[in-house]
Amino acid sequence: MKRRERTRQLIELGGLIVKAGIVELTDDDRAAIFGLLVEAAARLRSDETGTQLTLWRRRGKRAFADTIDND
């Protein structure tokens, strides 16, 4: 991945964390945010059927739709 593409990806991913309200909910506690992401990764590793990812994907799509509708 080229440097510019990686930078864009990192900015977009950070934006998702902000958009989800995680920064506000954790009072911008980087250790807590990282712990939350580590926990999510552990859940995905242990979910052999992929149901967790499917659930989160649906929830994310609904949240995106709600954001677009509320703009």
Q: State how far the Cα of 33 lies from the Cα of 21, in Å rounded to an integer.
A: 11
Of residues 67 and 46, the one with the higher pLDDT is 46
Over range 22-43, report the average pLDDT. Answer: 97
Q: How far is CA 20 from CA 4, 28, 33, 64, in A?
A: 25, 13, 12, 10
**Confidence category of residue 71, pLDDT binned at 50, 70, 90:** low
Return mean pLDDT, the chain.
Answer: 94
Which domain range does residue 60 map to?
3-70
Over range 8-19, report the average pLDDT. Answer: 96
Q: How many domains does the chain have?
A: 1
